[in-house]
């Protein structure tokens, strides 16, 4: 069965399914960036359990939002909302776009807990810094859009009684 068919069976419309799929792809890119930047990575790529480690819960949460049982729609949406909230909080309070950029552009962490740390390839690249920030911002915006789209879909299903 196609992605659209599975998502429709789970109560999602095409737009919501596409937004959730895009958010999933951006999350993979963003987590790969985390691992390469090192300073905001964690277990299983470093020995420490960090917020990065807990952020890996985003994958089962997004897959549940995308393919979970229709009868669990409110729970699926609530978990997506929580995941989106955590993402926005993490990208503002724990790891700002400036920190992401600097780790690539200057090859040094601005995080006081990671002083002296360099990115994994040990390079300076303003281009990779800009790409890192763009992926992070795209993930934030897509997660918000997916959460809003899923809420709208849930309200439409509720109104129609299905």
Give pLDDT tens digits for 31-65.
999 999 999 999 999 999 999 999 999 999 999 99
* pTM across the whole model: 0.93
| Segments of the chain with pLDDT less than 50 | none
Q: Which of 59, 66, 64, 58 is nearest to 12 (CA)?
A: 66
Is the CB of residue 66 less than 8 Å from the CB of residue 24? yes
pLDDT, residue 1, reads: 63
């Amino acid at each position: 069965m196609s992605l659209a068919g599975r998502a429709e069976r789970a109560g999602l419309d095409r737009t919501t399914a596409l937004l959730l799929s895009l958010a999933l792809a951006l999350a993979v890119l963003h987590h790969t960036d985390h691992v390469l930047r090192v300073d905001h990575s964690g277990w299983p790529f470093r020995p420490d359990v960090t917020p990065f480690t807990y952020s890996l819960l985003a994958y089962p949460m997004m897959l549940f939002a995308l393919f979970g049982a229709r009868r669990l729609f409110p729970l699926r949406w609530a978990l997506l909302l929580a995941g989106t909230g955590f993402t926005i909080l993490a990208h503002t309070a724990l790891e700002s776009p400036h920190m992401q950029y600097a780790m690539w552009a200057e090859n040094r962490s601005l995080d006081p807990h990671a002083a002296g740390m360099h990115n994994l390839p040990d390079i300076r690249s303003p281009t990779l810094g800009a790409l890192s920030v763009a992926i992070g911002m795209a993930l934030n915006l897509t997660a918000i859009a997916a959460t809003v789209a899923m809420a709208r879909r849930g309200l439409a299903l509720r109104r129609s009684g299905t």
